[in-house]
Structure 1
Amino acid sequence: MSVNHKRTTLALAVLASLSSSVFAQQNTEETEEKQDYETILVTAAPAGVEAQEASVSVSTLVPDNIFKLAPRSTAEVFRALPGVRAESSGGGGNANITIRGIPLATGGSKFMQLHEDGLPVLEFGDINFGNADNFLRYDWSVGSIQSVRGGSASTFASNSPGGVINMISKTGEFGGGAIGTSFGLDYEEFRLDFSYGGEINDDLYFHLGGFARGGEGTRDTGYNGDQGGQVKFNITQVLDNGHVRFYFKNLDDRVTTYLPAPVRVNSNGDYGPVENFDASSQTLHSAYTTNVSTFDSFGNPKNRDLTDGIESNVTSFGFEVDLEVAPELILVNRFRTSKVSGSFISPFTDTFGAYGPQSASNMASAICDSALDGDGNGFNCASTSVTLANGPNSGSEYNGLAFLNLLFDTSLNDLGNLINDLNLTKQFDNGVTVTAGYYYSKQDIAASWNSWNTFIQTVDGTNSQYLHIEDADGRALVNNGLWAPSFLSWEWDLNYTTTAPYINLGFELGDDWLFDVSARRDSVKANGELINSCCGGNTDFDLNGDGIIDGNSEDASASNGFGFGGGVINLNRAGAASQIIDYEASNTSFSLGGSYLYSDDITMFARYSEGGRALADRLLQIAGTLNSDGSLTSTTSGFDETKQLELGVKYGTRDFMLNGTFFSTVTQDTQAEVTSGLTFIREYEAIGIELEGRYNFGNGFSIIGNGTWTDAEISKDQFNQALVGKTPRRQADFIYTITPQYESDNFVVGASLQGSTEYFVQDSNELKQDAYNIINLFATYYISDAFSVSLNVNNASDEFVITESEESNAAIGDIIRARPLNGRTSSIQLKYEF
């Protein structure tokens, strides 16, 4: 086999994308014409080489295959990628995403970065209440989604040692467009998608795409919780020696996010609805509880609207320059500046010890027994009364299920960033390629955790209502739903500057061996301040500011060890604690890999990598990691590290493809979890096998699929030795996606089967979720070459599956707090292509 006809641009050569990803933008039309084994690798790896030959594990999803997954969120698209564990139980955002046994100890995507056109959406994927997927939407402007797992992601991007998922936009190089509408058949949502691109003249082309939508979303909220849209535009000028591309994005979208809610334990591993509430198809959001009077983090009165849910506002502008500036010398520069802001507000089912979901009478008794008024005196608990505080039956007695709503309420004032990735690649006649580059990123994290209110409400899947609770003397224990007006107030104002010089050397040995070695030096400079106060008090406070403390302005509420009772002593900066950060931290990553091209169809590869992930805002929640002057203590280096070994085989022809990769990972994790208050410093180990395949049977029948087997354990824990040897929470032994289909001249029909073996919901390995299989159905009928009608059904068998639980153990019949996947949802789509 001749190497030169395939690799003269071996991009080890155009590793022009070293830190990012998209050396050459791929359009849907172009991508879908290629089989997987012909796809050019453009994400977080030596670019310009075919995926079949690269010494990394890479997969590509194109729009036709994405539709077959019946996704209801971007995370549900990612769930179909090999090795990727994407928990989409939070709705249209707030997903938990990880890969290959790397821990998913809290939320977000800590060790895997989400990229858009080769640059990260956010520098850190697990910012508190600012997960990267909150600011990323899949629509028809996307030409393909490419993922690289492990390996070279350590050196080709900052803060992504686990891998990179990259959404690659269409560019209009191949003209045409489409417009379509979709409707929920058993849920309320309307959506319009559009895409159009083409040539302006021989060397200038463009693409415009996006979506608009409105409705309740996939679960009943009682209001339009999913509302907004996105527009993306790019224009490309082709030059004699390359191209220049400018792009723009505006995202203005709101989605309801689903936090842990009451779920019944049928047995250890099997769960279902509680009375009057099904957490897989309903929520505790309500039209009766949308407007909330609260305080900002400095004690100023503020009104909040629950219909905002996850509010995502992004305005981005960027450009890409890809030029041959001298013979065999290629310059690539990608730049993007993004204004990012929004908010996060949603009811969270809390317990504060004795106040888990229970009958309203029991809840009232528990509250009364521990309550103190503003003077520190108890209440008359000989009896209590519970009535509906609002809604059509306001004032009526109530003794159904009640829950304590700790309202998660944050304003994301500024998550903006500025990112630039510059590199030069020189290719020599002897097959050696050298790339050197410099990456710069500035990430702001300015967020206000408003004074989280706590309410007592009905457990009701249609319209939850506030409860009013009084003692035997008629004194208010819970005043029109409000138990405590302020649980905490935190003000974050942080800035992280990341710089990273990097280098890659690629070379060939003979006709069949390809090697590359790369290194990256990440340096992070962090500064800023967190001002925080927590957990209320029992001092009377004038809530309405009229100078008189009585009635609704007093809030005589329970005191249960958190100090609740009539007051909000944490509502001003003077009484709050302050932690500054002022440190610099560095980490060196490297990756060494090689491929053996056994034949045109078979490639074997191996790779070893070590990469780092800088610790961001969550570091401030972990005791003992920061000195009072903001410098790092000896407890942490400011980075967590992942080490990975991979051995793989790829076989690909036009009709049959099968890839297999063995992986071994060791990961350090320093984490803080908001919901439990848990902090930890751990090490995890995992080994596994990743399989991905495609086969065309002929006569219209074909199948694609992937599966990942993982054996993972907690190998070290600095604070809790009892967890060593346990399986990490939510880590299944085997996960899979299999999509069989039949295609004729006029229609396509098939199913996407996505499932998992059993897994433990907490690290203690007591409570588990049984194995499950989610069946998604799809069908498209082509009325003409241009016009089609499609139906897809997500979770056709309406399986009740939880992805996470706040409780680590429970008895049969107990109520726990968990997040289930969506129940059955169906939609129809009309599409016209031109």
Structure 2
Amino acid sequence: MHVKKTALAIAVALCGSGYAPEYLSPLAQNADGSIQQEDATKNEAPYWEKIVVTASPSGATMQEASVSVSSFDEEGIMKLAPRSTAEVFRALPGIRAESSGGGGNANITIRGIPLATGGSKFMQIHEDGLPVLEYGDINFGNTDNFLRYDWSVKLIESLRGGSASTFASNSPGGVINLISQTGEIEGGAVGVSYGLDYDEFRLDFAYGGEINRDLYFHIGGFARGGEGPRDTGFNGDQGGQVKFNITKVLDAGHLRFHVKHLDDKVTTYLPAPVRVKGNGEYGPVANFDASSETLHSAFTTNISGFDAYGNPQNRDLTDGIESNVTSFGFEADLEVARDVFLVNRFRVSDISGGFISPFTDTFGDYGPQSADNMAAAICESALDGNGNPFNCATTSVTLANGTNAGDTYSGLAFLNLLFDTKFNDLGNMINDLNLRKEFDNGVSVTLGYYYSKQDIATSWQSWQTFIQTVDGTDSQYLHIEDANGEALVNNGLWVPSFLSWNWDLNYTTTAPYINIGFEVGDNWLFDVSARRDTVDANGELLSRCCGGTTDVDLNGDGVISGNSEDASASNGFGFGGGVINLNQAGASTQIVNYEASNTAFSVGGSYLYSDSLTLFGRYSEGGRAIADRLLQIAGTLNSDGSLTSTTTGFDETEQLEVGVKYASKDYQINATLFDTVTQDTQAEVTSGLTFIREYEATGLELEGNYSFGAGFSISGNLTWTDAEISDDKFNPALVGKTPRRQADVIYTLIPQYENDDWLVGASIQGSTDFYVQDSNALKQDGYSIVNLFATWFVSDAFSVSVNVNNATDEFVITESEEGSAQIGDIIRARPLNGRTSSIAMKYTF
């Protein structure tokens, strides 16, 4: 009825391994010892018969395993018409990926686990079984900033809940794993794609095959350039990636070495002015459409400012999210004795770059509004260098640069708090070692040890504030003077030094783990696992807020003049008009020096009713170390860097899930009922708020596909979630509210038709309505984003594809800084991309 698991039961305990079934034993060889090349044209087994390899305790197939797991291959990803890696993730069941930030900076969560701030706190993103970053919510360093999907990826696999608690550190919610091509199937491809209604060119390539009888390789990557899917006025998406691996086949297993180099820049989109058309409906403001334009501009790209220590520097706004990653690693998968298997995975990564983008802020009454109103509000609040008010009988607003510089301006203006961060070092070294013994009675025991060293060395670069025009193509700085001609905003610059923080932290994680798997009869599979994570945190945060006492000639005219250059001036908010002192004079220091531990466990089982039907259940408890955001929450660290009694250094997640899986030749369906309790300790940069909360969520996850015959089929998934804030230490009034941005239902449907010459279809991704803030006052209506795809197979080797993302040009926001608004108000929000279309050509060989 099924393949007995004696050699596979609870096999490998791969702790996130990224490899398909053939990697569990030495590859088949011909009589001369050469590798038996697979026939790429033969029909592969259905994907539900593939071995689960991501954060899973067993060598069971997707159909048999007591976990919820899904995957997309290259063809499936193409159908989504993705404009970023996060847009691939949002089609996975149970996963909520807010891809409104552009090519990076996405917010990702799973199964009702909250998105209190940004990043992917409770789930990790892996490449070939090891995390890209140990923590998915590092301030400005979201994991998706440092990886790209391209043709070097064979499969994207996700595991939700369950054994992720014990088979990976810091990911109790689940794991998304990008599994690389390795060249066991010889061949390759090269292709180009162009934006039809946006500026981007991209070249992709991949090739792999046999070098000799026991050695094979794969190389792949991409290069691109252009503005990206929104108008910026410059080439903000620029760079590429190359990945290479080589595999040596041994009598007892294999060794694999791999390298990756990513050097890429993408424009990131932060909250910007959006018009409220109704409670749940939004649209563009005058002269600016946030779904297809940005507040970046060719007129505002060169920024003169200061690093975290007060040293003058120039910054280039076109850098956006700058990602530089060079990594090297190896994998050993060996049978070291009879039925004793050793698996070791190692990777060291050098990660650096930066993050710079305009954020639409509001200090008091300074939200997006007419330039005249903003000028009056600024003048009424300001004091000169002697502490006296300015003459606000009248104010004047003129364009400071660009087209028509010097002309009077009375249109819409916004306050740009320039998020300016450098990633000095986000590098890490990770090793995962496990030893597995298979017994003849079907019992398997795995012992493992995980080691990770994650650096977090970032600089918040003396953030500056500017007053600019709201313009979707040519935003310009504004110059504001009082009735006496005194500068309140000097050529766009309002405050030259809002804050300056320098983080220099190191987190060392060690985690022994154990898994025991066993069979009962021919129909039952069970496993139980445990993990003990210990985090040793060291370092310091050097912080200085709101200016200093040193006059600096910012505009280079040789004269210290104006509010923005006179350090003795004040703008009424206590911000000195000058800059931070050199060497952070007067800065405060928070030492970090603590150790924290957490024990996770998971127990699960499957009942194989038949070859087609499986019932399963699992209960898990896991933890997530809080990392750098802990330093932003008052009362969590003592002055000597030790933890106070208010925190353990970990947030915990409990999950119970039961499910059923049915698969046949024509259709397959999975259903999982889940219940989740999550603790969350968080700090939000944009609002300055901190959270210590508990969330509860109950839901149902559905996934399936059906073949109608004659080339017609449909696939998709749907997740229903009932979530609430069950406890809040700082704001009890929120208890019982629905967590921000949590919809009752999210779904993806992919109908298609395919024959020998054509593939056409649509991917429909949607959501019911949701509240944009925890106050539950302002919401986004339910929506459906329709993506269209079509491929013409000109020959066996050459194809042409066209896809359209958001074909109906829906205006949908994923988040808002405001929690309430009236019709006609302007809020600060991030919308999904408007309609974009592209064409691609691919040649395979």
TM-score, normalising length: structure 2: 0.96
Match of 1:14 among 5, 12, 15: 12
Verify the 8 A CA contact 2:162 2:655 in the aligned structure 1: yes
Residues 191 and 569 of structure 1: CA distance in aligned 2, closer, same or farther (over 3 Å): closer
Q: How much has 1:35 moved relative to structure 2?
A: 1.5
- Contact 2:305/2:464 (8 A) holds in 1: yes
From 214, 220, 224, give the equivalent of 2:235.
224
Counterparts of 1:648 and 1:210 in 2: how far apart (Å)?
Answer: 38
Matches of 1:551 and 1:781 in 2, distance apart?
63
Kept in 1, the 8 Å contact 2:540–2:590? The answer is: yes
Q: Distance in 2 between matches of 1:788 and 1:375?
A: 72
Instruction: Tell me which residue corresponds to 1:246.
Output: 257
Shift of 1:23: 6.7
1:286 matched to 2:297? The reply is yes
What amino acid is the match of 2:797? Answer: A
Matched, 1:185 2:182: no
Structure 2 partner of 1:353: 364
DSSP 3-state at the match of 1:452 = strand
Shift of 1:31: 11
* Distance across 2 between alignment mates of 1:547 and 1:697: 76
Q: Tell me, what secondary structure is at the counterpart of 2:463?
A: coil
Residues 502-530 of structure 1 show CA distances to partners (whole Å, capped at 9, x for unaligned) of 00000000010000000000000000000
Distance change (3 Å), C-alpha of 1:28 and 1:162: farther
Note if contact 1:735-1:755 (Cα within 8 Å) is conserved in structure 2. Answer: yes
In the alignment, the residues of structure 1 paired with residue 348 and residue 342 of structure 2 have an alpha-carbon distance, to the nearest angstrom, of 20
SS in 2 for 1:779: strand
Please list every run of 5 or more consecutive structure 1 residues that lacks an aligned counterpart in the other structure. Answer: none
Residue identity in the other structure for 1:426: K
Provide the alpha-carbon RMSD of the alignment.
Answer: 1.7
Instruction: Name 2:830's counterpart in structure 1.
Output: 819
> AA paired with 2:166?
T
Whole-Å separation in 1 of the counterparts to 2:571 and 2:46? 62
Q: 2:46 — aligned with what? A: 35
Residues 141 and 195, structure 1, Cα contact 8 Å, conserved in 2: yes
Identity of aligned residues (%): 78
| Structure 1 Cα separation of the partners of residues 532 and 765 of structure 2 | 39
Match of 1:769 in 2: 780
Match of 1:88 among 91, 99, 105: 99
Whichever residue aligns with residue 300 of structure 2, its letter is T
Partners in 1 of 2:367 and 2:833 — Cα distance? 23
Shift of 1:34: 2.9
Q: Is the 8 A contact 1:476 1:556 kept in 2?
A: no
Match for residue 676 of structure 2?
A: 665
Counterpart AA for 2:719: T
**Cross-structure match for 2:703:** 692
Per the alignment, do residues 751 and 23 of structure 1 end up closer, same or farther by CA in structure 2, a change over 3 Å counting? closer
Are residues 564 and 106 of structure 1, via their aligned partners in 2, closer, same or farther at CA, if it must alter by over 3 Å?
same
Tell me the equivalent position of 2:150: 139
Residue 539 to residue 18, structure 1, CA distance change in 2 (3 Å): closer
Match of 2:446 among 424, 432, 435: 435
Q: Does 1:491 align with 2:502?
A: yes
Match of 1:125 among 133, 136, 148: 136
Would the aligned equivalents of 1:25 and 1:168 in 2 still touch at CA under 8 Å? no
Distance 2:195 2:521 in 1: 57
Q: Following the alignment from structure 1 to structure 2, what is the Cα–Cα distance between the partners of residues 232 and 466?
A: 42
**What is the match of residue 375 of structure 1?**
386
* Contact 1:660–1:691 (Cα < 8 Å) also in 2: yes
Counterpart contact for 1:489–1:570, Cα < 8 Å: no
Q: Is the 8 A contact 1:469 1:477 kept in 2?
A: yes
Is 1:644 matched with 2:655? yes
Structure 1 108/570 Cα, relative in aligned 2: closer, same or farther at 3 Å? Answer: farther
Alignment match, 1:320: 331
Change in 2 beyond 3 A, CA 1:305/1:419: same
SS of 2:511's equivalent in the other structure is strand
Query: C-alpha distance in 2, partners of 1:276/1:602?
Result: 57
Name stretches of at least 5 consecutive residues in structure 2 with no aligned partner.
24-37
Equivalent residue for 1:522, pick from 509, 512, 533:
533
Q: Deviations over 1:173-223 (max 9, x none)?
A: 011110000000000000000010011112111000000000000000000
Partners of 2:41 and 2:74 lie apart in 1 by: 12
Alpha-carbon shift at residue 46 of structure 1 (Å): 1.8
User: CA offsets per residue over residues 362-396 of structure 1, 9 Å max, x none?
Assistant: 01000000011222221100000000000021000
Q: Which amino acid aligns with 2:382?
A: A
- Corresponding residue for residue 747 of structure 2: 736
Q: Which amino acid aligns with 2:490?
A: N
Alpha-carbon spacing, 1:571–1:28, altered in 2? closer, same or farther (3 Å): farther
Q: 1:267 and 2:278 equivalent?
A: yes
Tell me how far apart the structure 1 counterparts of residues 566 and 371 of structure 2 sit (CA, whole Å): 19
Partner of 2:821: 810
Partner of 1:783: 794
Partners of 1:374 and 1:541 in 2: CA distance: 15
Structure 1's 39 and 656: CA in aligned 2 closer, same or farther, altered over 3 A?
same
Alpha carbons 1:342, 1:411 under 8 Å: kept: yes
Q: 1:287 to 1:515 in 2, by over 3 A?
A: same
Shift in Å, 1:765: 0.3
Partner of 2:720: 709
Relative to structure 1, the CA distance from residue 30 to residue 269 in structure 2 (aligned partners, 3 Å threshold; closer, same or farther) is farther
Answer whether contact 1:433 1:506 (CA < 8 A) is retained.
Answer: yes
Residue matched to 2:411? 400
Alpha-carbon distance in structure 2 between the residues aligned to 1:149 and 1:441: 22
Aligned partner of residue 159 in structure 1, secondary structure: coil
Q: Runs of 4+ in structure 1 displaced over 6 angstroms?
A: 25-28, 544-547
Distance 1:558 1:54 in 2: 66
Of 556, 565, 578, the residue aligned with 1:554 is: 565
Aligned match of 1:168 in 162, 179, 182?
179
Q: 1:58 to 1:19 in 2, by over 3 A?
A: closer
The residue aligned with 2:596 is 585
- Flag the 1:28–1:724 CA change in 2: closer, same or farther, 3 A: farther
For 2:284 and 2:577, locate their aligned partners in 1 and report how far apart those are by CA, in whole Å: 35
Q: C-alpha offsets along residues 451-496 of structure 1, whole Å, 9 cap, x if unaligned? A: 1010000000001000000000111000000001010000000000
1:69 maps to which of 74, 80, 100: 80
Q: Which amino acid aligns with 1:702?
A: S
SS at structure 1 position matched to 2:318: helix
Kindly state the Cα deviation for residue 540 of structure 1 after the two structures are TM-superposed: 5.1
Number of the residue aligned with 1:610: 621
Q: What's the offset of the Cα at 1:10?
A: 2.5
Indicate the SS of the match to 2:585. Answer: helix
- Deviation at 1:546? 9.5
AA at the equivalent of 2:229: T
**Equivalent-residue separation in structure 2 for 1:691 and 1:10 (angstroms):** 28
Residue 757 of structure 2 corresponds to residue 746 of structure 1: yes
- The structure 2 residue matched to 1:389, chosen from 371, 387, 400, is 400
User: Aligned partners of 1:135, 1:752: CA distance in 2, in Å?
Assistant: 26
- 1:236 equivalent to 2:234? Answer no
Could you say what secondary structure the match of 2:631 adopts? helix
1:59 paired residue number: 70
- 2:462 equivalent in structure 1: 451
Cα distance, 1:545 vs structure 2? 9.0
* CA shift for structure 1 position 572: 4.1
Structure 1 residues 485 and 571, CA gap change in structure 2 (3 angstroms): farther
Structure 1 contact 735–756 (Cα < 8 Å) conserved: yes
